Amino acid sequence: MELRLGEKQTLVIVKKVEFGVYLATKEAPEDKVLLPAKQVPEGAKVGDELEVFLYRDSSDRLISTTRTPKLCMGQVALLTVVQVGKVGAFLDWGLEKDLLLPFKQQTRKVKTGEQVLAALYIDKSGRLCATMNVYEHLRTDSPYKKDDKVTGRIYEISKNFGAFVAVDNCFSGLIPKKELFGDTELRIGDQVTARVVKVLEDGKLTLSVREKAYLQIQKDAEKIERLLDSYEGSLPFNDKAAPEVIAHETGMSKNEFKRAVGHLLKEGKIQITEKNIRRVRG
């Protein structure tokens, strides 16, 4: 067994010195790492086992700590930006030395004081750094099933696929592109509440920020009625308008708009002409 950077490990005390103790694996006692004196439990002696986390200090030396960081290798966590410098941002991860988030690993520009979803990786120099590209680090063993309500944070938006969501900041989810119609534009970093539409075979979650169809039709119909009121009872387009026009004016897809208009028509609340939609006054 080897010393593993960025992970918690149970190691054995192999040597005591004034400034701490040296730890190693049982298999390779010659490969040692320092645990500073202030971290050494009272009464600890050679041969004792300690669970520690391995990282590099400000001089890039391998060092251990009994403190548990907010983020370990293979995990994803929400960390606070404490400073933005020349090489990137620095995140508070619960250890004395802040964690570097290089500019190249940022999916958007970050500011001091905000929280970002991050994962750990080892850079070319053998140092631990943070990345906002967390897709590969998210879990696919969520307890959720179809129609469950979940909350998560958007970490990436793709024109081809949609909005990628870290459900509970740890499970892999996606709001497909076709689901992204709505009043508010989703952005990286936004927290969203969504419904599980499907659990894929690989465990990833397909999500929707819209209600089930029959509930959504009612909501969309009410929205069209409000829109009619703002246009003094007559919309300057109908359900044959271009999808872009409908999306811009209503925040709905063409199909959603047609379903809601059909609902209002059936209820006798509107009439459709060649050029517009009018409210029927009762």
pLDDT (tens digit per residue) in 140-175 = 999 999 999 999 999 998 888 999 999 999 999 999
For residues 42 and 40, what is the distance between their CA atoms, to the nearest angstrom?
6
Cα 222 from chain centroid (whole Å): 32
Are 17 and 36 in contact by the 8 Å Cβ rule? The answer is no
* Mean per-residue pLDDT, 15-30: 91
10 Å CB burial of residue 7 (0-12, 13-18, 19+) is: middle
Spell out where 179-233 has E strands: 191-199, 205-208
Name the band, by pLDDT with cuts 50, 70 and 90, for residue 183: very low
Q: Report the Cα–Cα distance between both ends of the chain, in Å, rounded.
A: 80
Interior/surface letters 247-261, b for 16+ CB within 10 angstroms, e for the rest: bebbbbbbebbebbb
DSSP code of residue 227: H
Q: Distance (Å, rounded) from C-alpha 4 to C-alpha 113?
A: 31
Give the residue from 184, 183, 148 showing the smallest Cα distance to 168.
148
| 249 or 11, higher pLDDT | 11
Q: Is the model's pLDDT at 108 over the cut of 80?
A: yes
Nearest to 191 by CA among 209, 203, 178: 209
Q: Token pair 């419904």 is at which residue?
A: 195
Nearest by Cα to 156 from 145, 168, 142, 172: 172
pLDDT digit string (tens) for 193-216?
A: 999 999 999 999 999 887 665 667
Looking at residue 203, its amino acid is: G
Sheet holding 88-92, edge to edge: 99-102, 88-92, 76-84, 115-122, 128-131
Q: Which domains does the chain have, with CATH numbers?
A: 8-65 (2.40.50.140), 76-135 (2.40.50.140), 138-208 (2.40.50.140), 213-279 (1.10.10.10)
Q: What count of residues does the chain have?
A: 282
For residues 158 and 177, give the distance between their C-alpha atoms in angstroms, rounded to a whole number: 8
Q: Around 95, how many Cα atoms within 13 Å sit in the side-chain half-sphere?
A: 26
Task: State the pLDDT at residue 251.
Answer: 82
Q: How many C-beta neighbours within 10 Å does residue 74 have?
A: 12
**Burial degree of 273 (CB within 10 A; 0-12, 13-18, 19+):** exposed
Task: Band the pLDDT of 58: cuts 50, 70, 90.
Answer: confident
* CA dist., res. 163 & res. 116, Å (int): 16
Residue 20 tokens, joined: 């701490």
Contact 218, 263 (CB under 8 A): yes
pTM for the model stands at: 0.71
